[in-house]
Every structure is written in C-alpha cells, then in structure tokens.
C-alpha cells in the first residue's frame, strides 16, 4: 500500500477503531478524545508563546526590560506545559481503561458469529487460517486504541507546528514534509513485509504451538513417557522454531537495510532544510527570532510527523489483522447456519433418507463419497441400528441426520417434509447425541451432565434421573465432592475419571437433554460388560417409552433387540432388516459374516475352557 492509499484509508481505520471503542466504553472514549485535543491545542499555543518569548528576548533594549516583556509569554509557555501534561495523563488513564474492553468486545464479536457457522466451515482449512489471523485481530484491536490515540495526538500536534511554520514562512512546511518522507517509506515497507510474513507463517506457528502443547498436556503425557515420544516431538519443535527464527532473521536484516537507506535520505533532507533556513536568514527574508522559532517548530513538527507516520504505520499493521477479524465476521455471517424455517415435527413418525449422497468439503476430487445414494427409513419410537466396517459412513449418516451437514444430493424428509426447509435450531433441539469423541468438559460433574440442556435451569431431579439411567449414580456419589467435583486434572481440586466413567457421564448428558431422537455412536466401547448390558437395556426401554434411538455399534450381539438394522459398506446401504431377517434371508450376508467373525472370537467350544460347549444360535441354524 502506498503512503497515499494509506492516508486515504486512515479515516476509515480510525472510524472502525472509534466504533469498537464506543461499543466498549463511550465514557473512556470521550475522555481520551478531549485529552488528546487539549494536548495538541496547548502545544500550539505553547509554540506561539515561545515565538513571542524569543521575539521579546532578541529585541533591542536593556536585558531587564526584555526579560520583563517576555514574562507573560513565559507564563503561557508554563501553563500550556502543565495543561499538556495533565491532558497526557488523562489520555493514558482513559486508554488503559479502553484497551482491555475493546479486546473483549472484538473477541466476543467473532466468537458470537463463529459458534453459529456450519460445521463444514469450522473444518475448512481456509476458514481456519482466517480464524487464526482474526484471533490475533482481537489483541490488535486493543493495540489500535493506543496507536489511534497517538495518531490523533500527533495529528493535532503536527497541525499546530505546521500552522506556526506556515505563518513564519510558506517554504518551511514542504521542507518539513521532505525530512519525514524517507522514514515513512521505511516504516511502511517494513510493516508490509511483517504482515506478509505473518500470513505465510501463521499455520507454521500454530503447528509449533500444537507440538509444544502436546509435550505439556496431561492427555498425551503417558504415551510421551512410555513410548519416549518427548525427545522426538522436541526435535521437531526445535526444527520448526529454527525455520521460524530464520524467517525472523531475514525480516530483521531486511528492516535494518531499509532503515539505513531511510536514515541517509533523512540526513540529506535535514541538511537541505537547514541550508534553506540559512539562505532565508542571510538574504534577510527572515529575522533571527523567527528563525529560532522556525527551528523549534521544525523540530517539533518533524517529531510529530515522525510519530504520526510511525503510529499510522503501526495502526495500519494492526488494522490488517482487524480487517481479517472483520472479514471473518462477514464470512462467518455468510456461512452461518440459516435461522428460521418451517417448524420441525415434535414427534416425527418417520425420518427418511432418499438417495442421499455426501462428500466432505475439501475432499480429493477422486475420493469416493462418504455416503453414496443412500435411501433408508428411521421409524419414530424404534431402535434403529447402524452397522458396518470402519469408514463405511455410519457417523457421517448421523451427522447428516442431525443437520450438521447437508446432503450434496438427495433429500432427508421428516414426515415427508424436506429437512432443508426446516428450522435448523429447532431440529438440533430434537436430538440428543453421544458421539464417539464426545466432549469431556473441564467443568464440575454437575455441569458435565447439565450442559446437555443449558437453556433450562439445572434440575436436581432431572440430574439424578439421567445419572441413574447411565448407571453413573454410584460413581458420582463416590467422587470426592460428588456432583460438585471438578473434572479437570491439573486444576486445584481437579479429579480425573476413567474412560468408562466418562462414557457414563456422556450417556447421562444425552439422557438429561431429553431429545426426541437419541443418537448413540459407540456408546459402550469403554464400558465393562455389566454396564454395557445395562445401557442397552436402558436404550431399549427408551424406545418402549416412544423415543427414537439411533444406535451405532460394532458389538453386533447388542443389536439383536433393534427394530431395524441398516448395514453400510463403503458409503452405500447394503442391507436392512431385523436381526433375524439379516441372519436368515439376506442374500448379501454382510451382517451375517461380520456377526460370525465376532462370535468366533468368543470360541464357546474352546477346549482350553473346562466345560465349554458351543450353543448354536437359533437364528443362525436356520440359515446354515
Ligand atoms: N470430517 C471429515 N472430513 C473428511 N472426511 C471425513 C470426515 N469424517 C469422516 N470422513 C471420511 O468419511 C468416510 C466415512 O467416515 P465415517 O466416520 O462416517 O465412518 P464410520 O462408519 O463412522 O467409521 P467408524 O466405524 O470407524 O467410526 C471415511 O472415509 C472418512 O475418512
């Protein structure tokens, strides 16, 4: 960006900072504005008074009389200095109040929008890069307040010096501008280089932080120690840091070269200015007292202009990140989950997938779709099981069902109504979900369950019911502070649960939510045999009470009770039916093969087990 373009953009930059500041604390903003203007005006009056002092002191006559004449102006110089100091102090205090508030407002501004974007946006690499840059933008907004204040102050001070100089002699102002041009060019060039480098290295920095975090976080700590991963990660961290350092060194070298050129040019321009002043003096165009004031005004003006350029440059650099923040807010708005739509059936009789295909955004063009032309029915109030090998598309299907993604082709219909036209927020509220990688919130036990439905006040009765349902009641009673135990290791009073205990809490949370459709993705992978049995019984009971349950599991014996089983393979629906139907009649026999594989692992007729005896599966004997 050229100096000119930057000057043109300056008002817009200041305006956007002022808008943020007004939202954060209008009172503090007023204090800063008044203080900065007062400071500038007092400086201008001070300069004019200095001129009068010099004129009086350098006039003809006895020294006592000249000093006496200079006294009123000297008094004005003193008063303006005191007023200037008071104004600076008021401005510092106001800025200190404003800065943290502006950062908070800016942070909230993007967080508010980000929580409403589609899941696909959160997983999009480009959007993430913008998110990284925008996070930096919130602290930039905070710094912009300081720079903006400095810019306004320097502007007023420069205007004062420029006004005085113009009055003294019109040639002095362009000369003043000439001396500051090289420094402005250097500052701009360096800022541009720094921003471009930040953009190129933003993901690299994030990856570096990720590595260092892996070394200190409790979750990977056991593997880091037992597998000796620490030195390996550290080596990579060092090599990443070294390449980042090389970039910093390159930037510093480049900046030093630019500054050196600028310093040489500034020196030449200053020489020219003083030569011009000398000429004016020698030719008698300017009196000595005026030349003295001109030197002072030139110094003050050049200092203000240098500050102005430096701060505008800082402002511009920070504004680049704030612009990213604004861009993120715009994009988040465009990629937001649409609000409104038709009402979602309270208790759907059927949710149907009709020829649904879906490929994850950003996937390889040649990659097969995660779901390919899937048509199936999820009858209300029934237990529907989804089975299939790893990567067959089960989790993808439930994410589409819950409205987290939209199909690329085909339709999902709720009692005949296309899900695309339904109110998404309402749709989410119909679901309760325990996903494979459900969140282990670093909050208290109570919050970990109650977070399932934050829009209602926490109900003790409801909590107890959910805990009983998930078989988590005894476990919670045994915690050091019961429901109030903090489940965040590494914090005072923090407690760590086992994998199975966490899973029970996850199930309790889904139960607490009381959604009409319960999605349970591998709900028992970490549970002991007794707890697993209990959970499946509870799931069955829920359906008996009219709730729809969608169950994903690899434990095929546990889907015997399901009303319908859908079998997926490679993103396609391969067979559907009850357990008996799939075991007896299905020509594809995928479920049957998977089931046998699992059953054989238990080897009921294992000769090593005394008294072991193979008991034929009644469903299987028919098909065999
Ligand atoms: N967020 C994602 N982005 C891109 N591809 C994904 C994403 N999630 C899953 N996939 C891909 O989609 C396909 C189906 O994955 P999905 O998680 O639905 O399988 P699954 O049947 O649930 O597997 P598992 O039994 O291992 O949980 C896989 O090829 C997987 O690599």
Do residues 214 and 220 touch, judged by C-beta distance below 8 A? yes
Q: Does 388 contact ligand 1 (Cβ within 6 A)?
A: yes
pLDDT of residue 330: 92
Q: How far apart are CA 403 and CA 126, in angstroms?
A: 22
pLDDT of residue 614: 46
Do residues 235 and 278 touch, judged by C-beta distance below 8 A? no
Cα dihedral 460, 465, 470, 472 sign = positive
Q: Using the mean position of ligand 1's atoms as its centre, give its distance from the Cα of residue 252 in Å.
A: 45
Global pTM? 0.73
Q: Does 553 contact ligand 1 (Cβ within 6 A)?
A: no
- Provide the ipTM: 0.97
Query: At 357, is the secondary structure helix, strand, or coil?
Result: strand
> Could you give the C-alpha distances from 221 to 209, 232, 241, 265, in angstroms and in order?
16, 14, 22, 57
Do residues 168 and 297 touch, judged by C-beta distance below 8 A? yes
pLDDT of residue 254: 94
> Could you give the C-alpha distances from 398 to 123, 395, 516, in angstroms and in order?
17, 5, 14
Specify the ligand 1 atom closest to the Cα of 393.
Answer: 18
Tell me the pLDDT tens digit for each residue of 377-434: 999 989 999 999 899 999 999 999 999 999 999 999 999 999 999 999 999 999 998 8
Q: How far apart are CA 569 and CA 579, in angstroms?
A: 17
Specify the ligand 1 atom closest to the Cα of 522.
Answer: 27
Least Cα distance to 274 among 171, 154, 184 occurs for 171
Q: Which residues of 388-400 are buried (b: 16+ CB within 10 A; e: fewer)?
A: beeebbbbbbbbb
Q: How many CB atoms lie within 10 A of CB 299?
A: 12
Q: Does 390 contact ligand 1 (Cβ within 6 A)?
A: yes
Mutate to test the pocket of ligand 1, among 396, 397, 552, 573 (most ligand atoms within 8 A of CB): 396
pLDDT of residue 602: 64
Query: What is the residue with the minimal CA distance to atom 31 of ligand 1?
Result: 391
DSSP H helical ranges for 421-562: 424-429, 445-450, 460-469, 473-477, 499-513, 529-544
> Could you give the C-alpha distances from 21 to 93, 108, 149, 559, in angstroms and in order?
14, 14, 11, 59
- Tell me which residues of the chain have a pLDDT lower than 50: 609-624
Q: Does 49 contact ligand 1 (Cβ within 6 A)?
A: no
Q: Using the mean position of ligand 1's atoms as its centre, give its distance from the Cα of residue 624 in Å.
A: 34
Query: At 328, is the secondary structure helix, strand, or coil?
Result: helix
Q: Which residue has the tokens 């045999």?
A: 529
Q: Which residue has the tokens 């840091």?
A: 241
Mutate to test the pocket of ligand 1, among 395, 398, 436 (most ligand atoms within 8 A of CB): 395
**Side-by-side strand order, sheet with 517-521:** 431-434, 517-521, 548-552, 383-388, 564-569, 572-577
Q: Does 123 contact ligand 1 (Cβ within 6 A)?
A: yes
Q: Does 185 contact ligand 1 (Cβ within 6 A)?
A: no
Mutate to test the pocket of ligand 1, among 394, 398, 405, 574 (most ligand atoms within 8 A of CB): 394
Cα dihedral 56, 57, 61, 62 sign = positive
Query: What is the residue with the minimal CA distance to atom 28 of ligand 1?
Result: 391
Q: Does 472 contact ligand 1 (Cβ within 6 A)?
A: no
Q: Does 361 contact ligand 1 (Cβ within 6 A)?
A: no
Q: Does 448 contact ligand 1 (Cβ within 6 A)?
A: no
Q: Does 395 contact ligand 1 (Cβ within 6 A)?
A: yes
Do residues 59 and 288 touch, judged by C-beta distance below 8 A? no
Specify the ligand 1 atom closest to the Cα of 360.
Answer: 4
- Residue 425 has which token pair? 């927020």
Q: Using the mean position of ligand 1's atoms as its centre, give its distance from the Cα of residue 393 in Å.
A: 6
Query: What is the residue with the minimal CA distance to atom 6 of ligand 1?
Result: 360
CA angle 176, 182, 186 (to 5 degrees): 140
Q: Does 362 contact ligand 1 (Cβ within 6 A)?
A: no
Specify the ligand 1 atom closest to the Cα of 123.
Answer: 1
Cα 123 versus chain centre, distance: 13
pLDDT of residue 6: 66
Do residues 438 and 527 touch, judged by C-beta distance below 8 A? no
Specify the ligand 1 atom closest to the Cα of 386.
Answer: 21
**Side-by-side strand order, sheet with 350-358:** 371-379, 350-358, 409-414, 417-418
Least Cα distance to 308 among 506, 504, 155, 532 occurs for 155
Query: What is the residue with the minimal CA distance to atom 2 of ligand 1?
Result: 360
What ranges make up the beta strands (E) of 380-470? 383-388, 409-414, 417-418, 431-434
pLDDT of residue 2: 61
Query: What is the residue with the minimal CA distance to atom 4 of ligand 1?
Result: 360
């Amino acid at each position: 960006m050229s100096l000119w373009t930057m000057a043109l953009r300056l008002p817009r930059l200041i305006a956007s900072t002022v808008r943020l500041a007004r939202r954060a604390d209008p009172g503090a903003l007023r204090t800063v504005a008044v203080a900065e203007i007062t400071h500038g005006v007092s400086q201008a009056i001070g300069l004019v008074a200095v001129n009068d002092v010099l004129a009086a002191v350098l006039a003809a006559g006895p020294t006592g009389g000249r000093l006496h004449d200079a006294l009123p102006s000297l008094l004005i110089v003193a008063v303006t200095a005191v007023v200037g100091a008071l104004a600076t102090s008021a401005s510092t205090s106001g800025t200190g109040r404003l800065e943290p508030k502006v950062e908070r407002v800016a942070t909230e501004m993007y967080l508010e929008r980000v929580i409403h974007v589609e899941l696909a946006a959160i997983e999009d690499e480009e959007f993430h890069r913008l998110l990284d840059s925008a996070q930096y933008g919130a602290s930039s907004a905070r710094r912009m307040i300081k720079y903006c204040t400095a810019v306004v102050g320097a502007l007023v001070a420069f205007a004062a010096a420029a006004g005085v100089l113009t009055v003294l002699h019109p040639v002095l102002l362009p000369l003043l501008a000439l001396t500051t041009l090289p420094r402005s060019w250097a500052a701009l060039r360096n800022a541009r280089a720094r921003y471009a480098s930040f953009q190129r290295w933003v993901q690299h920095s994030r990856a570096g932080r990720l590595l260092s975090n892996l070394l200190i976080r409790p979750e990977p700590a056991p593997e880091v120690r037992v597998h000796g991963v620490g030195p390996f990660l550290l080596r990579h961290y060092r090599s990443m840091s070294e390449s980042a350092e090389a970039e910093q060194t390159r930037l510093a070298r480049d900046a030093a070269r630019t500054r050196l050129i600028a310093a040489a040019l500034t020196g030449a321009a200053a020489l020219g200015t003083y030569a011009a002043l000398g000429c004016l003096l020698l030719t008698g165009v300017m009196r000595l007292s005026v030349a003295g004031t001109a030197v002072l005004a030139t110094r003050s003006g050049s200092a203000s202009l240098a500050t102005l350029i430096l701060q505008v440059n800082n402002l511009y650099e920070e504004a680049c990140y704030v612009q990213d923040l604004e861009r993120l807010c715009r994009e988040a708005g465009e990629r937001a989950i649409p609000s409104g739509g038709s009402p979602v059936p309270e208790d759907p009789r059927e949710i149907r997938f009709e020829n649904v295909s879906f490929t994850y955004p950003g996937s390889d063009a040649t990659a097969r779709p995660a779901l390919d032309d899937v048509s199936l029915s999820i009858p209300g109030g029934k237990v529907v099981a989804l089975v299939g090998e790893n990567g067959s598309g089960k989790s993808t299907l439930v994410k589409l069902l819950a409205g987290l993604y939209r199909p690329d082709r085909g339709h999902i219909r709720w009692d005949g109504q296309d899900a695309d036209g339904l109110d998404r927020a309402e749709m989410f509220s119909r679901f309760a979900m325990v996903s494979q990688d459900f969140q282990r919130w670093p909050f208290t036990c109570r919050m970990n369950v109650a977070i399932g439905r934050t829009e209602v006040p926490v109900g003790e009765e409801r909590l107890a019911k959910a805990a009983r349902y998930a078989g988590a009641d005894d476990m919670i009673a045994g915690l050091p502070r019961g429901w109030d135990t903090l489940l965040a290791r590494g914090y005072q009073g923090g407690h760590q649960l086992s994998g199975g205990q966490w899973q029970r809490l996850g199930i309790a949370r889904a139960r607490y939510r009381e959604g009409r459709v319960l999605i349970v993705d591998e709900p028992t992978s970490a549970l002991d045999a007794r707890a697993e049995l209990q959970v499946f019984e509870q799931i069955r009971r829920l359906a008996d009470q009219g709730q729809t349950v969608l169950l994903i599991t690899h434990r095929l014996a546990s889907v015997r009770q399901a009303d319908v089983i859908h079998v997926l393979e490679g993103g396609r629906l391969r067979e559907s039916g009850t357990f008996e139907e799939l075991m007896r009649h299905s020509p594809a026999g995928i479920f049957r093969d998977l089931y046998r594989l699992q059953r054989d692992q238990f080897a009921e007729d294992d000769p090593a087990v005394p008294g072991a005896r193979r008991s034929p599966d009644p469903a299987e004997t028919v098909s065999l």
